[in-house]
Structure 1
Amino acid sequence: MTTQSEPADDRFDPGLSAIASERRQLINLAYRLLGSLADAEDVVQETYARWYAMSPRQQQAIESPGGWLTRVAGRICLDLLGSARARRETYVGEWIPEPLPDRTEWINARPGGPTPDPADRVTLDESVNMAFLVVLESMTPAERVAFILHDVFRYPFNEVAEIVGRTPAACRQLASSARRRIRDAQPPATPATRHAIVREFKRAWEAKDIDALVALLDPHATATSDGGGLVNAMLHPIVGGELIAHHTLEITARVPDMTILERTVNGQPGLVAQRDGVTVTVMAFDIAGDRIRHIWAVRNPDKLRPWMAEQ
């Protein structure tokens, strides 16, 4: 960001403080639209750079600075979503949205912990769980922007239209189409069930209990790994509960010194694998009824930056 307000400046320039206070909202919006914290940070940086590139007279003429920042960030995200599709077509292996930790699980318990980063400013709710983000990936850029702005952030369609470059009626149709995609996804399990099943999966994995693992997995379950081109990453999803169970135990055989920890991943129960105290894999789960129907394992080091603070 070209110009940053410091706490001392806020006493003299309330307007500057108000602009800076929009940062959390912008990070939340951009992460949901892009599925990448790094890209979200870049979007917010560029948004603020455009604000500070204007003259004071131009800034003062803007009736709602927060609305202006949101519109600019939304348009940048829309452009990035189009180019991201092209980039991900050449991505080695499967592309999975970047997983986010619940930082309170360790930082609040550690005095003198690391300085909070943008991950701390993302509100973890149903709109950032991994299953939801994966469904968003199947949408067109315009659908995704219209849906997130209206259904998640409650922007009226006339304002969404300014960002998407469509009529309010067209944006209403885009959001409706996106909503159908979300509804078609099977409803998630209850929070209590999620915790219990993920915990049982961890125990069965550690005990090398193949029968218990198979019983926890839907027969048609899918496991997807994102290694960002790592040689030992899965290039294609594994389909079938038994195949996933056997693959899980093969990992243990190859990496016997791995430690499995229960952690919150994008607001849902998940698992983190560590070697020598270093996070090497973050796993998110989609659970329907009492079975795991999808596992996403992120191994791309670039996507594990927010998890390194735990070490």
Structure 2
Amino acid sequence: MNDGDHATDPATEAFVAHRNLLFTVAYEMLGSAADAEDVLQETWLRWVRVDLAQVRDRRAYLVRITTRQSLNRLRTMKRRKEAYVGPWLPEPLLTAPDVAEDVELAESVSMALLLVLETLSPTERAVFVLREVFDVGYDEIAAAVDKSPAAVRQIAHRARRHVAARRPRRTVSPSETRAALESFRRALESGDLQALLDVLAPEAVLLSDGGGIKQAALRPVSGAGKVARFMIGGLGRNRLPITVGPTVVNGGPALVVHLDGGLDGVLAVRVEDARITGLYYVRNPEKLSRAEAETPLTLR
């Protein structure tokens, strides 16, 4: 099909117009850009077989297809995660400044919230994402997840309560997070253990994702002392030159780490009361393809 055909094809126009939204829906449900792209491909294959004359709201219909395909993918991912080596972290996305400026969007794709969503069942996650993030009506969600509207309301209530009990106590400003990260960056580059301890909360927890490909802790590392020693000595810091720079992933300030000139990983954090309480270090190279080129995200 040539470009002229694309320009006059209503199915293609609708899909392209809503592609960023559909990707964001799939990513928030899956936490994986690679799987979200696969879902979009599956959504397209089903969309082109739809009789558009029967579709009242193309955006809603596309979201419904994407949700169903994401649910199918979530169930297969569950088996993959059970066999995953060490902690599984969401795939970090380099995001544009406008994502960070949209507080609602930035919160919805934050590492901290995506990890909370991992504790929901597939259906609970779909209902929560569609209702709380994208403000989809209960009737439309019911059609997407094959439940009654009454059942969807109950699931939404249960999911909201579950997430509220596990999400960060309060949202800090990006500037507060950047300040904590800058202190952390300087300490990490210099290998200053005390400076790391000063910026870490005593109860800090580090999750590192190497996917069995790169060195990472197989279990969460708990406590400021253990986290600091792991970050300074456990990643080859004493053998290879390290450079750490600021970046923005999943709508929030983060750090990109290079060892010996090569991309080693992306570090996102959770900050409370000016100190780092949660660290999410993605080293699995299969999850770093979106760390250096911006991924467009939208709630609309």
- Report the TM-score when normalising by structure 1: 0.85
* Cα drift, residue 277 of structure 1: 4.0
- Show the counterpart of 1:59: 52
SS at match of 2:291: helix
Aligned 1:17-56 pairs, distance under 5 A: 17-54=13-50
| 1:135 paired residue among 116, 119, 129 | 116
* Cα drift, residue 13 of structure 1: 3.8
- Show the counterpart of 1:301: 285
- Change in 2 beyond 3 A, CA 1:49/1:217: same
Any conservation in 1 of the 2:11–2:47 contact (CA below 8 Å)? no
Does the alignment pair 1:239 with 2:222? Answer: yes
* Residues in 1 aligned to 2:175 and 2:240: alpha-carbon distance in whole angstroms: 30
* Residues in 1 aligned to 2:64 and 2:247: alpha-carbon distance in whole angstroms: 34
* Residues in 1 aligned to 2:179 and 2:119: alpha-carbon distance in whole angstroms: 29
Any conservation in 1 of the 2:214–2:284 contact (CA below 8 Å)? no
- Change in 2 beyond 3 A, CA 1:5/1:215: farther
SS at match of 2:92: coil
- Show the counterpart of 2:297: none
* Cα drift, residue 52 of structure 1: 1.8
- Show the counterpart of 1:200: 183
* Residues in 2 aligned to 1:211 and 1:307: alpha-carbon distance in whole angstroms: 29
- Show the counterpart of 1:181: 162
* Residues in 2 aligned to 1:43 and 1:201: alpha-carbon distance in whole angstroms: 37
Any conservation in 1 of the 2:96–2:251 contact (CA below 8 Å)? no
Identical aligned residues as a percent = 38
- Show the counterpart of 1:100: 93
Does the alignment pair 1:144 with 2:125? Answer: yes
* Residues in 2 aligned to 1:252 and 1:202: alpha-carbon distance in whole angstroms: 16
Any conservation in 2 of the 1:223–1:296 contact (CA below 8 Å)? yes
Any conservation in 2 of the 1:5–1:16 contact (CA below 8 Å)? no
* Residues in 1 aligned to 2:229 and 2:11: alpha-carbon distance in whole angstroms: 58
* Residues in 2 aligned to 1:253 and 1:155: alpha-carbon distance in whole angstroms: 47
Any conservation in 1 of the 2:92–2:250 contact (CA below 8 Å)? yes
Does the alignment pair 1:281 with 2:260? Answer: no
2:228 aligned partner, one-letter code? A
* Residues in 1 aligned to 2:22 and 2:258: alpha-carbon distance in whole angstroms: 32
* Residues in 1 aligned to 2:87 and 2:236: alpha-carbon distance in whole angstroms: 22
- Show the counterpart of 1:219: 202
1:266 aligned partner, one-letter code? N
- Show the counterpart of 1:115: none
* Cα drift, residue 161 of structure 1: 0.7
* Cα drift, residue 14 of structure 1: 4.8
Structure 1: 5+ residue runs without aligned partners?
A: 106-122
Any conservation in 2 of the 1:279–1:307 contact (CA below 8 Å)? no
Any conservation in 2 of the 1:32–1:148 contact (CA below 8 Å)? yes
- Report the TM-score when normalising by structure 2: 0.88
- Show the counterpart of 1:229: 212
- Show the counterpart of 2:152: 171
SS at match of 1:92: coil
* Cα drift, residue 20 of structure 1: 2.2
Any conservation in 2 of the 1:286–1:294 contact (CA below 8 Å)? yes
* Residues in 2 aligned to 1:271 and 1:63: alpha-carbon distance in whole angstroms: 44
Aligned 1:115-134 pairs, distance under 5 A: 125-134=106-115
SS at match of 1:260: strand
Any conservation in 1 of the 2:94–2:292 contact (CA below 8 Å)? no
Q: May I ask how many residue pairs the two structures share in their alignment?
A: 286
Does the alignment pair 1:254 with 2:243? Answer: no
Structure ranking higher on relative contact order (CA contacts 8 Å, 6+ apart)? 2
1:48 aligned partner, one-letter code? W
Any conservation in 2 of the 1:43–1:73 contact (CA below 8 Å)? yes
